[in-house]
Amino acid sequence: MQFSPEVLIVLGPLFAAVIAGLLQRYIGDKVAMTLTTASVGLSLLLSWPIFIDFVWGEGHEQLIELFTFIDVGGFTSTWSVRIDTMSAIMLVVVNTVSFLVHLYSWGYMSEDPHRARFFSYLSFFTFAMLALVTANDFLQLFFGWEGVGVASYLLIGFWYQKRSANDAAIKAFVVNRIGDFGFALGIMACFFFLGTIKFFPSEVGDLALFAGTVDGVEVAGQLERLANQALVLGELTLPAVELVAFLLFIGAMGKSAQFFLHVWLPDAMEGPTPVSALIHAATMVTAGVFMVCRLGELYHMAPLASGFVTIVGGTTALFAATVGLAQNDIKRVVAYSTCSQLGYMFFAAGVGAYNAAMFHLFTHAFFKALLFLGAGSVIHGMHHEQDMRYMGGVRKPMPITWAMMLIGTFALIGFGIPGLGGFAGFYSKDAIIEAAYGSHGIGAQFAFWCGVSAALLTSFYSWRLAFMTFEGKFRGNPDHHDDHAHGHTQEGHEEAMSPAAHHDDHHAHAKPADGSAPAHESPWVMLIPLFVLAAGAIAAGAIFAPYFLGAHAEGFWGHTIPLAHGEHHDFPDWVIWAPLVVTVIGFVFAVLFYLWKPGAAKAMAKGPVWAFLYNKWYFDEIYNFIFVKGARAIGDLFWKVGDQKIIDGLGPDGVTSASRMLSRGLRRVQTGFVFHYSFVMLIAAVAFGAYAIFAGIGGAP
């Protein structure tokens, strides 16, 4: 095994997670927290120089093979650490957000009695993501993929005493396994057609999907072979490249919560706020985007599968934005925003703008983590209140949190002026919308209009969140009392099960005379991560846009992804200005409904349309009826009819019953009287004689 700083980046969080998890009783919470935070911090310090080298230096690709993972027959998988532009981006994103989440959790989880276990889960989550993004074959990627799934199950259900937390964890796990089944089939199909699951060659003569250089020798990729292969099933012929690309995307749909497999994402809010930031901002949900972009050359050869990606991504962007309009839980609004932004990333990849998709993944990590951690700060300062209907007036007692959330809002809506610049989201989101307009691929124009419409709705619900939370007078929850933190059965408050809530009991909930909320600013250990993320939300777009999208893109990306060519000025002016216009319109409507005429929004929160959006298009109800109740009905059919009546009835129970009836009949015959037996013998003799006569037994031939 080769050991290097790159290997330490990946394995460091694993070692810390194991030590903190297994030895927590001996080392204590503080040591476990310090060890895990320090390990992720070290990974972060080692990751940024690698990324900077690709941006401003002469970054070169590396492939460090650690050990043979599986070697059976002609199937070989090696655990590797691959460093290229794609993995360098993800290393920075994952480690930056993870470290800040670790640091933030020192304050947020300060009173929880299971901090060592919590930090162990966080570090294990980080390791799984790092293993995923540095993989050089599908098997290692799948290992990290499933590892992230296991870690998310543990973190979402961290407060396992709550029924809702357990249900949310199971829901996330099951829905992701559905997607992963398609992903596994895609990996198998790739090996079936090409005889390899390796991305890039590690030695001369290697079979790999993509071409690469080994010791100065160019090794050809095998991907082109898919173009002339197909799977024939009777009268049905499936092009190999389309089949593989489609099946792999099914896995991405589950992991990245795309339309139809999105239902787990909002429920993942049951975990502590730091978990929400980690899962939603930069790690688990972005794994699908990373995978599709890593396989950009494959999807470039599969126009039908790419069209499917485009349509699903555009639909997700618009769907999640509509649902976000009607949500009242502050974290749930941000969660649906995540779902919508992932839709942008996917339809960017679907139209071939893989660099724009990765750039939005990069910028999104900063402002979405900022919004989640800012929401957590609000919840912490508001004594664990999460319902925006009972907030208001929070700006004055929490000015720092308000400023950070404001920066995150500007970045999320992609505020900026074409030709001048703007916040981070401006550069990446506008590039995606323009790429969709300029594409001639399947579903591109549909995705363009979905993107523009979603931008309008995003602006509206983002400012709705800001105004309902921070502006106006404190409204208060009549059912929210100081002692609610002790009521371990209370639903709707994430910290109700956590002893971390107890330390706020001494704060009074009396309304201040000036109408502001009875809130308090969060401690500095929770605010410092907000400052770092806010800097990224402001400047990450302007600094890195030339390398992800502009003049330096070819040198930055190399051959890791196919680049979409097209300059900003090639698009009509109305396309360039459309995102800003709809963003301003969304802001104006939010001001009208939530500042000037606050009663109008309350009056609109009724009727079938509002109910449709509030209930998330009734997906949970539909899935519960079709799949949950349907599966239960099928199970009952097999159990009560198939097992009990047919198998048991004709089998053990049937034989037993027949024996019992036969024995009862024989018991009646066995009377003990000789004349009864003589009568039976007489009847038998008569019956035999009659049969002999009619059958001709003993007669002449």
Instruction: Tell me the per-residue pLDDT of 339-368, one tens digit each, with 9 for 90 and over.
Output: 999 999 999 999 999 999 999 999 999 999
Sign of CA dihedral 487, 490, 496, 497: positive
Residue 33 CB neighbours (<10 A): 24
Distance, in Å, from the CA atom of 473 to the CA atom of 598, rounded to the nearest integer, reads 11
Distance, in Å, from the CA atom of 468 to the CA atom of 392, rounded to the nearest integer, reads 6
Residue 632 CB neighbours (<10 A): 10
pLDDT at 505: 45
Residue 617 CB neighbours (<10 A): 14
Tokens 């040198």, located at residue: 555
Tokens 């650690």, located at residue: 66
Q: Residue 587's pLDDT band (boundaries 50, 70, 90)?
A: very high
Sign of CA dihedral 343, 103, 509, 497: positive
Structure tokens at 598: 């606050």
**Tens digit of pLDDT for each residue in 130-177?**
999 999 999 999 999 999 999 999 999 998 888 888 999 999 999 999
Q: What residues contact 615, with CB distance under 8 A and at least 6 apart?
A: 621
358 three-class SS? helix
Check whether 499 has a pLDDT greater than 60.
no
Q: Quote the distance between the C-alpha of residue 559 and its chain's center.
A: 28
391 three-class SS? coil
378 three-class SS? helix
DSSP 8-state class, residue 227: G
Burial 387-407 (b: 16+ CB within 10 A, else e): bbebbbbbbebbebbbebbeb
- Identify the CA nearest to 95 among candidates 135, 22, 146, 38: 38
Tokens 């570090």, located at residue: 123
Structure tokens at 550: 């502009």
Distance, in Å, from the CA atom of 310 to the CA atom of 302, rounded to the nearest integer, reads 12
pLDDT at 602: 76
pLDDT at 488: 34
Provide the residue type at 638 as one letter: F
Structure tokens at 516: 């502001």
Of residues 168 and 569, more confidence is placed in 168
Q: Residue 376's pLDDT band (boundaries 50, 70, 90)?
A: very high
Q: Residue 490's pLDDT band (boundaries 50, 70, 90)?
A: very low
**Tens digit of pLDDT for each residue in 414-455?**
999 999 999 999 999 999 999 999 999 999 999 999 999 999
Residue 4 CB neighbours (<10 A): 12
Structure tokens at 479: 């059912």
Percentage of residues in the chain with pLDDT exceeding 70? 92
- DSSP letters of 485-529? GG-TT--S-GGGG-GGGGGGTTS--PPPTTS--S--PPPHHHHHH
**Tens digit of pLDDT for each residue in 455-484?**
999 999 999 999 999 998 888 776 654 433
pLDDT at 483: 38
Tokens 């993870």, located at residue: 98
pLDDT at 493: 40
Distance, in Å, from the CA atom of 359 to the CA atom of 542, rounded to the nearest integer, reads 11
